Amino acid sequence: MEDPEILLKFQDPASRNLAFNQLVRKYQQKVYWHVRKMVVDHADADDLTQDVFVKVFQHLANFRQDAALFTWIYRIATNECLSFLQSKRRKFFLPLNDVGAELAAKLEADPAIAGDEIELRLQKAILRLPDKQRLVFNLRYYDEMPYEQMAEVTGTSVGALKASYHHAARKIEDYVTKADNLTAATDEAD
């Protein structure tokens, strides 16, 4: 079912649930992975994905269609992720690096990455970025989203997004290179 048809059927109370069910089936994987890359943990991603779709349901009747439906859903998911990470830091009185360490520990426990040393370093480097910059990096590097769409999702100008992405990429390359050199030096010393 195409987005305009979903929106049309959602307006009719008789077909609202059917339309929303189609919407969830269509976008659940994209939303889940967008959230998962930000919070790493599956259980957190599961909770947040459900929260995102509940908010979509509550506000879809007011959706003005001045942006693509998925861009609008992505924006809700992005805000949920940033709020979640912010409240996590406030709740546990943890500084930035400690939440990063918690996420890194979850990363190390992830069976898909645990055996791949380079990939683990890359993921740890991504985790060291500030939340908003990490979000920009994920949207561009993994989702390959055009900068114009990213601008709609994040409410940031295209120029600022390009600068943020290249800055993030540079920081990641530096971090992984330093980690590689440190490991090589340790191996030589042994």
Partner 1 sequence: MKTPFRLDEHPRRGPQPLSSPPAGYFEQLPTRIMAQVAAPARRPQPLAWLWAAPASLRTGLASTLLLGTFAASLWLGNTPLGRPAATADTLAAVPQQQLLEYLTNGETHVDMLDLAELPTRQLGLTKHYLRPSASELTAALDGQPADEPGVL
Q: Residue 132 in contact with residue 143, Cβ under 8 Å?
A: no
Among 9, 10, 19, 32, binds partner 1 (CB under 8 A): 32
Rounded to an integer, what distance in angstroms lies between the CA atom of residue 87 and that of residue 5? 37
Alpha-carbon torsion 71, 161, 139, 45, what sign? negative
Among 1, 7, 57, 71, binds partner 1 (CB under 8 A): 57
* Nearest to partner 1 of 40, 85 (CB atom): 40
Q: Residue 3 in contact with residue 69, Cβ under 8 Å?
A: yes
Among 63, 70, 104, 143, binds partner 1 (CB under 8 A): 143
Rounded to an integer, what distance in angstroms lies between the CA atom of residue 14 and that of residue 146? 37
Rounded to an integer, what distance in angstroms lies between the CA atom of residue 149 and that of residue 174? 28
Residue 11 is a binding residue for partner 1 (CB under 8 A)? no
* Nearest to partner 1 of 30, 132 (CB atom): 30
Residue 164 is a binding residue for partner 1 (CB under 8 A)? no
Residue 25 is a binding residue for partner 1 (CB under 8 A)? yes
Q: Residue 158 in contact with residue 147, Cβ under 8 Å?
A: yes
- Taking the complex as a whole, the smallest distance from the CB of residue 79 to partner 1 amounts, in Å, to 18
Q: How many CB atoms lie within 10 A of CB 67?
A: 15
Binding residues (CB under 8 A) for partner 1: these are 17, 20-21, 24-25, 28-29, 32-33, 36-37, 40, 42, 45-46, 49-50, 53-54, 57-58, 107, 110-113, 118-119, 122-123, 141-144, 169, 172-173, 176-177, 180-181, 184
